[in-house]
Amino acid sequence: MYNHGMAREATLSTTIDPAVKSALALYSRKHGLKIRFVVERAIVELIEDESDLAVWRRRRDEPAVPWAEVLKAHRKAAAK
């Protein structure tokens, strides 16, 4: 999924709180997902969140563009 179609894998071994493991198993079963997928997705999300926050911190003081202007520019570009 995240390795762009390559069939490479790495083993991850760790110890977690039994209540967390139980909740993970329940969540995975409820949603028809493999625990491996849920764990991998959660790790990717954490890493992406860190990256998103870094970008937000760099740009938070930039002036905002009103939504009406964004729509107007989008419509203008679509009309071309």
Residue 5 pLDDT > 80 = no
CA distance linking residue 35 with residue 58, whole number of Å? 35
For 22-71, the pLDDT digits (tens) are 999 999 999 999 999 999 999 999 999 999 999 999 999 999 999 999 99
Name the band, by pLDDT with cuts 50, 70 and 90, for residue 4: low
Note whether residue 53 is domain-resident. yes
What is the tally of structural domains in the chain?
Answer: 1
Note whether residue 9 is domain-resident. no
Dihedral sign for Cα atoms in the order 55, 56, 61, 64: positive
The per-residue pLDDT for 60 is 92
Range of the domain at 60: 18-79
Note whether residue 61 is domain-resident. yes
The per-residue pLDDT for 80 is 81
Instruction: Identify the CA nearest to 40 among candidates 10, 65, 66.
Output: 10
